Amino acid sequence: MYHALVRRRVRRLYAALNDADPVPLVSSLGPRFAYTFVGSGHPLAGTRRNLPDMRAQMDRVLRLFPGLRFHVVDVVVTGSPWHTRLAVVLEVDARLADGNPYHNDLVQLLWLRWGRAFQVRTVIDTARLTEACRRLAAVGILEATAPPVS
């Protein structure tokens, strides 16, 4: 029952992101957390450890990829309420500012304590992401070449 509730909550968080609302996702983080977006050489890379930086990160994602859609492929949950581990498999789609489609696959690994995330690791095909940022920069979106939010 607990695992089913967690899966349902995860799907609601991504549904909110599909509505360009990052507040539920940011609010799901615990008072102390580390949110890592793997890679380097792109403006989403790095680790965030406070809510203002995390909100800035999510706002950047939504500005760079307006209309971004998260499609939850699978949610795997294990553990107890005091130490829950999740793997979320997602596909993302958007239309870039140059008119071309963007598609990527990502996996998020999450560790929760009493329903609040204290560690998140986002693993994505960084070659696709970096190419999308290069294309955005080519049409004048300078934030696509900005340093990561820290």
The whole domain housing 99 covers 2-138
Q: How large a percentage of the chain has pLDDT more than 90?
A: 97
Q: 3 near 115, Cβ under 8 Å?
A: no
Per the structure, the count of domains in the chain is 1
Please report whether residue 143 resides in a domain. no
Q: Which residues of the chain have pLDDT under 50?
A: none
Please report whether residue 127 resides in a domain. yes
Give the CATH number for residue 103: 3.10.450.50
pLDDT digits (tens, 9 = 90+) for 5-41: 999 999 999 999 999 999 999 999 999 999 999 999 8
pLDDT digits (tens, 9 = 90+) for 2-14: 999 999 999 999 9
Please report whether residue 144 resides in a domain. no
> What is the pTM (predicted TM-score) of this model?
0.92
Closest C-alpha to 17, from 53, 69, 65:
69
